Structure 1
Amino acid sequence: MRSSNRDIEQQTVPLENFAIAAAITLAVLSPMTGSFLKCWADRAAIGQRVSDGRSYCDNCGKTLGAIDLVPVLSWLWQGGKSRCCAMPISPTLLTAEITALLLAVWALLVLPQSAWLPAMIVAWCLQAIALLAVPATQTASRITAVLVLGIILWASFGAPVASMALVGAGVGAGLLLIARVLAPAHWPATLILPAGGALLGPALIFAAALLGLVFAALHRLYSRTVAKRAVPLATSVAIGTAGGVWVLWLHGSSLLGG
């Protein structure tokens, strides 16, 4: 029996080490995800597909090389300007890359090891929904549906938590339908609510939506003053709501005194 227990422990440790190594690797690579999602959103906004050719300079149209596409570092090394034409690069690209990195590191710092990999997937999906909600609404809707199912499946391993995920997803979907009726021009901003409800449960999703409005106002201020780029209101609300969901998922109990 002792030998059997020792064998189980020896098998468990390598698996834990593998999960840790995989999570840290994904965290390091996460800016690439942010860069890809921002490229996807920008191309969708002008009617292109993300697969339509290699990355190119937004100013002169020249195809970019590998040295131009290193997340965060290329932007910093080139002083925020294109290497090909020396025109300024929008800081929104850098913001997306740094956001993806911060979300990954945040998850590693505050969550148990068993939740690292799922949390990074959640973070990437939230960022994808937020960035694609307006320019690629159908794609964002599909990502939302997949994320909701994934969260419910994840929660099912900790029943009765799964029941809260189901109810929360239902409440979020209800809020989405209300927004679609009352604000047909801006309803994609609320696409993230079903997934947020599944993550937070029916009570916290309302707090996340309110917090999201604060983050949305900050995003619009950043877009106008720093990025100097016009951003649809719905995009700011989608990004803000994603931020509200993320913060309350990780820190809701402590912030609300629960």
Structure 2
Amino acid sequence: MNETKNRYFLQLSYHGGPFHGWQIQQNAFTVQECIENALSTFLRKPIAIMGSGRTDTGVHASMQVCHFDLPDMTLPENFLKAVNAILPKEIAIHTIRKVQPDAHARFDALKRSYFYRIIFSKNPFLEGMAWQLFHRPDVNRMNEAAQFLLQYEDFECFSKVHTEVNHFRCKIFEAHWEQKDDQLLFHITANRFLRGMVRAIVGTLIEIGFGHKQIEDLERIILSKDRTQAGKAAPAKGLFLSQITYPTNIYLD
């Protein structure tokens, strides 16, 4: 007789600085490994999780989602408090929600959003969480160029090479820069992202903002499907996974 399983979504955040990315790897300190160890320790049984997607070394998440399965049992009221006490200070679980048994944190995600933070003066409170530039790029030029991203779906030019994917198609719904106090934020939302894609886009748009590339060059770069034509990837420390959207009918509570 098959044991009844309940599936749960965890919503969490983490400072990516100390970690070698999200995904478990040999001889590397990863977010996924820390969460699995904490859940397994508290629940006293091996627990495996599946994230909505990977983040690279040094990339942060103000919102990440993962799922895991448990036998039919009632979770104790102190579940979040206890698991957070086991986790390192750089990871926090905020909510746990029961979902449909076949709900999937990765495959059911409709949209994913990132933002990238740039600062222009030294800020000890954003150390390791922003890219500091000493000159201001032309935000209007960068926003004009960013509109080309909404017109295409093949972004091989912004993907890390030797990536194991079936295709390079992504539907980008939003891409724009926002000036906020002494920060410059790039917002981007798509149905999926390729490895290194957002950092490559940011790096390319910054080159356009400084006049090293022309606005029209972004369209040429996209059509080239050649990573060497795009700009250098922006540093990982300024990038945040910030939102994941799911169909509301997958939640059971």
For Structure 1 versus Structure 2, the TM-score category normalised by the shorter chain is: under 0.3
Bigger relative CO (Cα 8 Å, ≥ 6 apart): 2
TM-score of the superposed pair, with normalisation by structure 1: 0.26
Higher helix share: 1
